[in-house]
Structure 1
Amino acid sequence: MIKYVNHLIEHYGYLGIILALIGGIIGLPIPDEVLLTYVGFNVFQGRLAYIPSLLSAFTGAVGGISLSYFLGIKLGLPFLQKYGPKFHINENKISKAKKLYNQFGPFLLFIGFFIPGVRHITAYLAGINCYSYKKFALFAYSGAIFWGFTFITAGKVLGHNWHQVEHYLSKFSMMIIPFILLSIGAYTYYYWRKKRKLKDKKVYN
């Protein structure tokens, strides 16, 4: 994998990062987290610049997730079930993603980037369920920014210990997902209470 990433960086630069992430997100067997953290290590070494690396990661993630979304709209679930296994998207992963999607709805587009085996499917499901593009883009693109920033920054901070990032970030991911969900829940509750108070004021006035 490292030789592959080195080849991408040496020959294609930031474009290589974009293309690899597009392929990884639509289902090709590319370990995206390893790629991103190694990009962060290259930033640490000075071979890549931090901001262009983040922009490349965002562009690649957005490109892959958007392509998956539009494929979901055009081709539907039968296509995913038929051809998914060729991209390591089996029935078990589809079933797991569907359960999470029913539970969390569009929020899964955000947190799905941090769940192995799920981020490849969330956009397909959004397309299959005919989510509006605006709603899809809001959650999916926000998740893409946060995901790329997390892994590239971790690789940059850890430096020569970047290879340990998978161990550290597996724990971090399990911590960040509940935090995100709690934050969303707290914001939703606050928004509902605020709206309820305004409604009560109108009634009494």
Structure 2
Amino acid sequence: MEYLLELLIFRYGYIGLSIALALGIIGVPVPDEVLLTYSGYLAGNGTLHPLLVVVCAFLGSAAGITASYLIGLRFGHPFLLKYGPKLHLSHARIERAQGWMTKFGNLLLILGFFVPGLRHVTAYMAGMSRLKIGTFMFYAYTGALSWSVLFIYIGFILGDRWLQVKHYVHHYGFAILLYGGIAALAFYILRRFIAMRKVKAQHRL
């Protein structure tokens, strides 16, 4: 695994990171969290620039989830059922994501990034439900940025022990999800607060 990640990063650099994450979000079997953590490790030892790693990781994950949204918007549920298994999206996973989407709504676009297997489906669901592109971008891109920064930071602070991310994700996955939920709630409250301030400012005019 480490050799393959080294080959990807050192041969294709930041662009390789973006493309790999984009394909991983769409459904290609890419070890997303491990790739992000390894990139954070390389940023920590000076091989890569931390800011460029974050930017490229965000752009890649945002591109992947946007492509998934557009596929869901254009081709709908029949496409996902027919080709989903080829992208490692089983019918059971699709049904589970539909249930979660009904329960959590747009917030799932944020929280889904922190649940392996779920982030690959949420954007398809959003597209099939005809969610407005602006709303989709706000929630999905918030999730993409939070997810990217978190795992890059884990690799950054773990240093040479970056491979422990596998153990970390396995044993502390709930904590990661909780972090995502707190981040999502904070963004939501901030957005509501700004909107209310704008409304009050307009009323004063």
Letter paired with 2:136: F
Deviations 1:12-50 (A, max 9, x none): 110000000011000001110011001111112211110
Per-residue CA distance 1:159-188 (angstroms, 9 max, x = gap): 011111222234444124345546739x76
Match of 1:198 in 2: none
In the alignment, residue 141 of structure 1 is paired with which amino acid? Y
The structure with more radius of gyration: 1
Matches within 5 A, 1:52-131: 52-131=52-131
Take 1:57 and 1:17, find their aligned partners in 2: how far apart are those partners? 6
Q: Which residue of 2 aligns with 1:46?
A: 46
Gaps of at least 5 residues in structure 1 are 196-205
Match of 1:17 in 2: 17
Count of matched residue pairs: 192
Tell me if structure 1 keeps the 8 A contact 2:114–2:180: no
TM-score, length of structure 2 as denominator length: 0.86
Taking structure 1 as the reference length, what is the TM-score of the superposition? 0.86
Q: What's the CA shift for 1:108?
A: 0.3
Q: Give the CA RMSD over aligned residues.
A: 2.2
Q: What corresponds to 2:134 in structure 1?
A: 134
Contact map agreement 2:15 2:56 (CA 8 A) in 1: yes
Task: Give the whole-Å Cα distance in 2 for the aligned partners of 1:180 and 1:5.
Answer: 26
2:153 counterpart residue number: 153
Does the C-alpha gap of structure 1 residues 47 and 172 become closer, same or farther in structure 2, counting only changes over 3 Å?
same
SS, match of residue 89 in structure 1: coil
* Percentage identity across paired residues of the two chains: 42
Gaps (5+ residues) in structure 2? 197-205
